[in-house]
Structure 1
Amino acid sequence: MKKITLILQCLPLILACTVVTKTNAQSRASYTISFTSHWDSETNDPINGNSIVDLPGNAHWSDLVGATHNNAARLLEMGSLATEGIKDVAELGNNTAIMNEVQALINSNHADQFLQAAFDDFAPRTTATLSNIEVSEDFPLLSLAAMIAPSPDWMIAVNSINLRDGNTWVQSLSIPLFPYDAGTDSGVNYNSGNQTTMPAQPITSLVNVSPFNDKPIGVLTITFNQTLSIQDNDLVQVSLYPNPSNGMLHITTSASNPLTEVQVYDVLGKQIERFVNNDATRQLQLDLTQAKAGIYIVKIKLLNATSMTKKIVIN
């Protein structure tokens, strides 16, 4: 196991972040959440570079993934052991296990939605954005993670950022993020081979632990867009994920207004699939793995006779 220096003041548990302004309380609010990476070497960027060695030629990030949830859920926690989902994100950039963990939290009414966004470029300095994310007052906490790739088990992460401040929605947060070790692999270099840590160790900071110095690796920006009126709650509370996907998709709606039917169309307007939710459950899994790669339109009908459409991408 590599030597770890724990820098508590650098943990992005968000106590030191500035709340700029607030808005009136509502049941749901829309946010845009963006992580901008500053990952670079000191040689290439002497002022902001956070790596004391040159980055590998294939340096990049895995998708930014996470969930909105309540206090009963913990997707990850600094100082605690990584879940299987966080382990797979940190080691492999694989999101299947964490998506299943979030779905289990949704089923137990501890989470509201799974979040996933790809980075703009296959590069160390790039941005991933979650646009117009609808956050419920019942699930106001935000947790996110992404793999620093390649690496043994290194990642950026935030744990349970509260988007509520008393009876109001937080309007703006800007959070410097630092690298973490998931505690599941003992490699010490970007391209170290697999060296499983036995037993697994808690998630710890990599500030001033080679190959990183004490500078942030990026900034997470959370921006309030608008409140969503109480009477609109049943209409807007629909999550479809992951997107893009390999064809296996999940749709989650509110318990009071579940989905009744889903229709899937190609870009030419031809219906390729139709799913009927006879049990009126708030979760439905769609299997579109037989569809060709491309863009599709999903039309979702809800119990109160409202409907909406969402665009999906199948890889």
Structure 2
Amino acid sequence: MARVAKAVATFLCVVMAGVALAQDTARYRVDVTFNWTAADDLDAHWSRLIAFAHSSRYSLFRDGETASSGLALVATNGRVSVLEAELAEGRRRGRVGEHVVLPGVASPGAFSFELMLDETLSRVSFATMLAPSPDWFSGASGVQLRAEDIWRDQVTVVLWPWDAGADSGPNYTGPNVETQPRQSVRLLTHPDFLTADGLAPIGQASFTRLP
């Protein structure tokens, strides 16, 4: 009888450990949709999109802060290699998890990808350049998908146009004019994005927890 009780207890421990493990990790599908259309340029497109999971100790961008070299290069010419190197350093410090890079798409257009998260790397960020602009980009920074130890089933965020502060080109198709010293990241209030009601969002991202 004692052996049976011990076996049952062991089985329950294994089951509970499996439940805890399942709760500590989650996989999400992220669907990104951009609806912006250039009025006079048929070549409007979004560069490669780079996305990754990370902790609260890593930030891709914040309004009023200076862009990293990696983000600045994504925003000015769509290059992701330097940002990938920054993510590798963040991963070494335990602040960054899985990352993906997707091919660019026309605008309007859409991206879709999946990421695995865990209880310490429970945020998602991504960025893509609006090309061929000076340094305009869009994305999301630090979307929290775990609250009070519970994974959120569905999260939707609005996407805005941003200026990386690295290029002072006057308009969407204008020449590149490197900004020195580099300015801070800020919402893009260029006339191309303003309406009678003010700055308009240019898309949205939906985060869906997978079974």
Match of residue 91 from structure 2: 106
Is structure 2 residue 141 aligned with structure 1 residue 159?
Answer: yes
Contact 2:37 2:44 survives alignment (8 Å): no
Match of residue 181 from structure 2: 199
Match of residue 175 from structure 1: 157
Match of residue 129 from structure 1: 112
- TM superposition shift of 1:202: 0.6
- TM superposition shift of 1:40: 1.8
Distance between the aligned counterparts of 1:145 and 1:79, measured in 2? Answer: 17
The amino acid that maps onto 2:93 is: S
Distance between the aligned counterparts of 2:156 and 2:60, measured in 1? Answer: 21
Q: How does 1:134-149 map to 2 (within 5 A)?
A: 134-149=116-131
Q: Helix, strand or coil for the counterpart of 1:211?
A: helix
Match of residue 33 from structure 1: 30
Which TM-score applies when normalising by structure 2?
Answer: 0.84
Distance between the aligned counterparts of 1:144 and 1:78, measured in 2? Answer: 15
Is structure 2 residue 114 aligned with structure 1 residue 117?
Answer: no
Match of residue 7 from structure 2: none
The amino acid that maps onto 1:62 is: S
Given the alignment, which residue of 204, 212, 231 partners 2:193?
212
Which TM-score applies when normalising by structure 1?
Answer: 0.57
- The alignment covers a number of residue pairs equal to 187
The amino acid that maps onto 1:104 is: E
- TM superposition shift of 1:221: 0.9
- TM superposition shift of 1:110: 1.0
- TM superposition shift of 1:30: 1.0
- TM superposition shift of 1:156: 0.4
Which structure has the higher relative contact order (CA within 8 Å, separation 6+)? Answer: 2
Contact 2:70 2:86 survives alignment (8 Å): yes
Contact 1:178 1:215 survives alignment (8 Å): yes
Q: Helix, strand or coil for the counterpart of 2:90?
A: helix
Q: Helix, strand or coil for the counterpart of 1:101?
A: helix
- TM superposition shift of 1:116: 1.8
The amino acid that maps onto 1:142 is: V
Distance between the aligned counterparts of 1:161 and 1:196, measured in 2? Answer: 30
The amino acid that maps onto 2:95 is: H
Q: Which runs of 5+ in 2 are unaligned?
A: 1-19
Given the alignment, which residue of 59, 64, 69 partners 2:44?
59
Q: Helix, strand or coil for the counterpart of 1:102?
A: helix
The amino acid that maps onto 1:110 is: R
Distance between the aligned counterparts of 1:215 and 1:205, measured in 2? Answer: 11
- TM superposition shift of 1:55: 4.0
Identity %: 29
Q: Which runs of 5+ in 1 are unaligned?
A: 1-23, 42-53, 227-315
